[in-house]
Amino acid sequence: MPGRWNREGDRSARETQILGWILVVPAMAAVGALILYPLVKGFQQSIQSGGILFGELPGYVGTRNYRDVLNDPTSRDAMRHTLEYVLLAVSLELVLGIFVAVTLHRVFRGRGFVLAVLILPWALPSVVSGVLWRRVFDPDNGLLNSVLLHLHIINQPQVWLASGRGAIIYITLVHVWGVLPLISLIFLAGLQSVPDEVYSASAVDGAGPWRQFRYITLPLLRPSMAIALTVGTLLAISIFDEIYVLNGTALNTRSILIQVYNTTFVEADFAHGTALAFVLAAVTAVLGGFYALALRRSTV
């Protein structure tokens, strides 16, 4: 009898394994068709000459396209702009996200309404956010110029997105406006997992609000901070809609993703465009792996 049970158990395990493969294979095939195959074809395109549309036969050029995009001054400026977007956006999102989460952590009258209003910018598509803010920054009849002229702060309408550094700051603020609700909710969820007894015990020991925030809230928010840092960085690296709607492909605010779009579809240079896209994907993968490692260490 024990031998029979073992045989039946082995057969049941094999049937379960076969059923698992039957269920997994279609998903693996879909992933291969929709993700892996385009990646392979894109990489092949990035190591070939890019003059197909102009009658040039494609040929293997190795890493020449990658060297070209890394040495291109326009691509370098786009990379620098992207770094500025990431540093400014992530810094603001972390600081403001913690502030908003701490403010909303305590129950007060109208808290549900405030949460609903907070989520609204995140719920709007980034293109819609860009269109709304374009009306604010419009140099002719925009809301910002109208208010400042009415308050006599400026004497004439300003073209807010014409300057380099200032335009990057304004576009980053629009991006932060849309991402901040998500970051705040991440921190709010982290705060709600902290027992109230911890704060009560620290208050008995004489710890004030600042010491509680410094020695209790911030250390216990490290897992949430790692998640917020990961999400904020990846969203800032892939910033596109806000820039394109507010300032198009202008050189003073062009991000690396805008540069990929412009090189690939405007200039029809698919080889250099895909090479630049793979550079961006590699940087994003490295940062994602680093943040995943940091998240793992913060939760151990």
Residue-range definition of the domain harbouring residue 111: 72-299
| Residue 173 belongs to a domain | yes
The reported pLDDT for the residue numbered 279 is 92
Q: How far apart are the C-alpha atoms of 210 and 215, rounded to whole Å? A: 9
Residue 254 CA, chain-centre distance (Å), reads 16
Q: pTM score, two decimals?
A: 0.83
> Quick one: 76 and 212 in the same domain?
yes
| Residue 31 belongs to a domain | yes
> Quick one: 143 and 290 in the same domain?
yes
- For residue 133, the one-letter residue type is W
| Residue 18 belongs to a domain | yes
| Residue 40 belongs to a domain | no
Which tokens go with 10? 């082995």
| Residue 45 belongs to a domain | no
The angle at the Cα of 135, spanning 134 to 140, to the nearest 5 degrees, equals 105
> Quick one: 115 and 256 in the same domain?
yes
> Quick one: 171 and 251 in the same domain?
yes
C-beta separation of 130 from 161 below 8 A: no
> Quick one: 21 and 77 in the same domain?
no
User: Any alpha helices (H) in the chain, and if so which ranges?
Assistant: 2-31, 37-46, 64-71, 73-105, 111-123, 126-137, 143-150, 164-192, 196-204, 209-212, 218-220, 222-237, 241-247, 256-261, 270-299
> Quick one: 238 and 124 in the same domain?
yes
**Which CATH number covers residue 131?**
1.10.3720.10
Q: Model confidence over 138-154: pLDDT tens digits?
A: 888 888 888 888 888 88
> Quick one: 13 and 121 in the same domain?
no
Q: Model confidence over 58-74: pLDDT tens digits?
A: 778 888 889 989 999 99
Dihedral sign computed on CA atoms, order 128, 132, 137, 142: positive
Orientation of helix 222-237 relative to helix 164-192, angle to 10° = 150
pLDDT per residue rounded down to tens, the chain (300 residues): 455 545 555 667 777 788 778 888 888 888 778 888 888 888 888 888 765 555 566 778 888 889 989 999 999 999 999 999 999 999 999 999 999 888 888 777 877 788 888 888 888 888 888 888 988 898 888 888 888 888 888 888 888 888 777 899 999 999 999 999 999 999 998 888 877 777 777 777 777 778 777 777 888 888 888 889 889 999 999 999 999 999 888 888 999 999 999 998 888 888 888 999 999 989 888 888 887 777 776 665
Cβ–Cβ contacts within 10 Å for residue 287, how many? 16
**Number of domains into which the chain is organized:** 2
The reported pLDDT for the residue numbered 10 is 64
